[in-house]
Chains A and B, each alone.
With several copies, the nearest count.
Chain A
Amino acid sequence: MTDDVKDANRIDSVELFLAHALTLENEAADGYQEIGDSMAVHNNPEVAGLFLQMCKYGRMHADEVRELATGLDLPHIPPWEYSWEDGESPESASMDKMHYMMQPAQALALAMKAERQAHAFYAGVAASTANPRVRELAQQFAAEESEHVRLLGEWIAKYPPADDNWDYDPDPPAMPE
């Protein structure tokens, strides 16, 4: 959902591109952090660990982008005016898919989806930009994202798929207030 349908993905300045990349990585990390914390609060340490790990990677990437941006004056863009495909930054694993009993394979599948979207975003920019430097950076980032996708694939393979009853909780919910 976006308010203004833009010429999606068309980014022609390095500053604008890095601003997008920085936000993408930051929001990815923030999102993973939030989900990881939430899983920890809900006594799902294994999945919490996975997301917090993802968060760490996200923070690293953000640092990398920040480094690339040193010396440049990145524009401020309000969250709703980024050139994201659907209004939300592509690598955010959305909280609404989460479940307190979710199993690692499911968590990683969600992360995979986010990484794929990030890849698609960078690849899209690379394909559409008129600025060669932007294209170069976008291609580089897209390559990194495909590497993440590959790594995640390997990671997923290590976990059994969730069983049919994975979300079965025999107990009633609590009523804290």
Chain B
Amino acid sequence: MTALAQTPALTAAAYKSDYRPVWCPGCGHYSVLSSLTKALAELGLQRENVAVISGIGCSSRIPAYTSVYGFHSVHGRALPVATGLKVARPDLTVVVAGGDGDGYSIGGNHFLHACRRNVDLTYLVMDNQVYGMTKGQASPTTPADWDRSKLTPHGTGVSPFHPLAVALAAGANFIARCYAGDPNGTARVITEAVRHPGFSMVQILSQCVTYQPSQKEWKTTVRKADVTTTRDAVRAARWLMADDGLSTGVLYIGHRPIYRPELQASCSVDDLESGFVV
């Protein structure tokens, strides 16, 4: 049991804003919002001490639907914004949320380096294998033969990106996959991810009903992983390279040191001058 012993101060609903999502009815992102707010309630966090940071995309609209602090930044840059915030304000709980396009395509470099740097952030990638916001182009996780975008009329011809394998190779220490169709399971993983010190990577399969209608099948194909969480990177690598992308659970927890500079003054600003005096 990882849950709080006592009853949380705020209900999940209290973490939602009164601004109604513009998401398509049926979009998986609704469930992610619900899982996130449940997790925040479970963690018993004060609203003012939480920040949700995102980039641009349908998924990246999520901060506005919460009642905590947040930043809806620019496409692909959620992770550095969050990194700056967390390093400067280690007292806050910082959740980063966005899409597969935002996170693996334009934001790929920050993804690599966030895994490696290991700042205490929780990263929720609402992966629908498509750019929802811009009318359905292929994203890095789109299957190679998906030919429904005019930009890639015969499919991308490119093997899809495997975010968790890359996260592991890049040094991530908490690696999980969830499914938006299982909001309580997802809430639980988010709760664990926030509690995990350092960077936590949570891929959430979150269907795009508009541009990837076949993702409705996830209801039947997504399943719990047939392994328990490993703490061995070599085993995790072996497992992830063979994984079909549909099994859920916390797949790996590592123990690399976290990046958290001390912010403790040891001298006054005036003292800095001494180096210049002739």
Which chain A residues have a beta carbon within 8 Å of chain B's beta carbons? Answer: 1-3, 30, 34-35, 37-42, 76-82, 84, 87-88, 94-100, 102, 172-173, 175-177
A174–B250 CA distance with the chains assembled, in angstroms? 36
Stretch at the interface among B24-32, B110-118, B139-147, B266-274: B24-32
19 contacts between A and B (CB under 8 A): A1-B181, A34-B34, A38-B21, A40-B20, A42-B24, A76-B6, A76-B7, A78-B3, A78-B42, A78-B191, A80-B185, A94-B181, A98-B25, A99-B26, A100-B24, A173-B136, A173-B210, A176-B22, A177-B57
Which residues of the other chain, A, contact B187 by a CB distance below 8 angstroms? 78-80
- B22 touching A2, Cβ below 8 Å: no
Compute how far the CA of A177 lies from the CA of B38 in the bound complex, rounded to whole angstroms: 28
Which B residues are closer than 8 A to A by beta carbons?
1-4, 6-8, 12-13, 20-28, 30-31, 34, 38, 42, 56-57, 133-136, 179-185, 187-188, 191, 207, 209-211, 216, 219, 222-224, 248
A interface majority secondary structure: loop
Which residues of chain B are within 8 angstroms of A81 by Cβ–Cβ distance? Answer: 1, 3
Smallest beta-carbon distance A21→chain B, Å: 16
Given A41-B20, A76-B8, are A95 and B30 also a contact pair (CB < 8 Å)? yes
Q: Check A78–B2 contact: CB distance below 8 A.
A: yes
Q: Which residues of chain B are near A94, meaning CB under 8 Å?
A: 31, 181
Docked-complex contact A38 and B23, CB < 8 angstroms: yes
**CB pair B28 A96 closer than 8 Å:** yes
A100 to B27, CA, bound (A): 11
Q: Which residues of B contact A39 (CB under 8 A)?
A: 25
Interface contact B133-A35, CB-CB below 8 Å? no
Residues on B with beta carbons closer than 8 Å to the beta carbon of A38: 20-21, 23, 25, 30
Shortest CB–CB separation between residue B216 and chain A, in angstroms? 7
